[in-house]
Structure 1
């Protein structure tokens, strides 16, 4: 398993909690002893272990320089699988919670100028990016959409700190974010960062099609449609560390076959969006089916997310 040496497992407590806006609760998580927490960078998220074996990923949305606590904001999703409901109902002040991370597949790259586009709870990874952009002396603008002002987390704080650089789009007042106006003409020396619901991200991708390669950076909360697999037949994975060779049938993932063989493998979302199951590829060609890596990152072919990605050749050699 490809491991990030900066990731840790921490048992923290809910040091503070408050209702941010409609259906969004903010938790401040701290070490019970008062010790500083590990460093992190904008775009990072953590795995939060919840009841009944549930694990959910939440973006860190505080200020990275403040190591006394980590902050997450959680949207209650009535039609979800129960993770957000557990956070809202059970993680009260003083509650203990185990976290793993931080992990960052949405890092803020250096640039003289940024365009940030957030939809709903997708504002959470963007907030620390604004602080970092300010600290670097970069120019930036934020376009932030939501169902209504009552549902838009951190909106009032952002209005106070961002001034004219913030353009809010409460849908019940002004409609959807005007992507054509914002992205219709490619801008030099500008990076675009966006996080939010899948329809917004697809639209942002379409509007950035004529921008220079490497301009657009996205973080998804749900997996994207990647079409049919490159291979529809079985393939083999050789595990370099254990010396085992396994056969992966069309109806199972590499992760499922590895787990069935009794080989430990970290995993969480099983949708290719969290990065927990990242595994180093030592040989072979990968059919990348994740919603994390850019095309350029996938082209390096040196790592894969075994919960969804498959082989594009008869045999893969993995660092497992």
Structure 2
């Protein structure tokens, strides 16, 4: 195994620095254990943290765009979580060696005449590099940043250098982010990039119903809650493997493929990390992820097989 490599598909890194950014939020700088430049990345990218206790969790890169000497992530301690953030806060320390996967980018930052950024709490992490990129481009931009209290909102010191372009809305003193104020810049051609809790993103989805198509771009912590749907069995033909797998109504495509010995790449298994993206050669996917936009879902040429299923009795996948 190469000195820079971790487990299959991963990279060994060392915790270079931890820093408190707000109540319950720590930022972590990760450098290559071998001292090599890390893989290149762009605003919106995230990595999978492979923790020593066996958990894998996804965290957005929030350092300077394109920085390759280290990666920075921000982690809020969620005691009611499945254990990832608790482990990070309780056990990760400078000098410790861990593994990462990625980076991957499901939240790509595209060109626009102007930008509106919306962040709630720890949702500021994927937005920070976009803010820096927009500023470096000389673009017109503004950021609406909300949280429970000022003390709970990370990276405020860093954002303070942008002056009035950043509007902070701690809900205990300033109320919620005024989403109605986004309508005018959107009508003028702005793109909106947002990340935060489900309630904020749901409100943005509602606000965007009359916006131009593709104006709103969201990064979700969890796949959206969809109306209950009946799971039906599906035949999955794996074109490259020349195998056909029967997927029962009570199992995911990923699990059925795993049992059949067909290798897949997965991490979150909840439709948000993008690691299991698979090309669809035939059939109609039933999209249940939190990544693809409406137009991307309608194209039907790719799907995330950890959560999505099929609208047709058969799918042909490039596996």
TM interval, shorter chain, is over 0.9
User: What secondary structure does 2:273 align onto?
Assistant: coil
User: What secondary structure does 1:30 align onto?
Assistant: strand
Number of aligned residues:
312
Unaligned runs of 5+ in 2: 1-8
1: CA distance between counterparts of 2:195 and 2:183? 15
Q: What's the RMSD between the two structures over aligned residues?
A: 1.5
What is the deviation of 1:306?
0.4
CA contact (8 A) 1:63 1:128 kept: yes
> TM-score if structure 2 supplies the norm length?
0.94
1: CA distance between counterparts of 2:304 and 2:61? 22
Pairing of 1:217-256 with structure 2 (within 5 A): 217-229=217-229, 232-256=231-255
Render the CA deviation track for 1:101-146: whole Å, top value 9, x for unaligned. Answer: 0100001110110010000000000000011111222100000000
Unaligned runs of 5+ in 1: 1-7
Render the CA deviation track for 1:28-87: whole Å, top value 9, x for unaligned. Answer: 000133321111000000011013321000000001232210000100000000000111
Render the CA deviation track for 1:6-27: whole Å, top value 9, x for unaligned. Answer: xx62100001111111111111
In the alignment, is residue 172 of structure 1 matched against residue 202 of structure 2? no
Match of 1:277 in 2: 276
1: CA distance between counterparts of 2:152 and 2:231? 43
CA contact (8 A) 1:184 1:207 kept: no
Pairing of 1:3-82 with structure 2 (within 5 A): 9-82=10-83
CA contact (8 A) 1:118 1:195 kept: yes
Which gives a bigger RCO, structure 1 or 2 (Cα 8 Å, sep 6+)? 1
Render the CA deviation track for 1:220-277: whole Å, top value 9, x for unaligned. Answer: 0011022234x64311001112211111122111011111222221111111011111
1: CA distance between counterparts of 2:293 and 2:214? 8
Render the CA deviation track for 1:132-186: whole Å, top value 9, x for unaligned. Answer: 1112221000000001111100012101x21110100011111111112333774
> TM-score if structure 1 supplies the norm length?
0.94
CA contact (8 A) 2:47 2:101 kept: yes
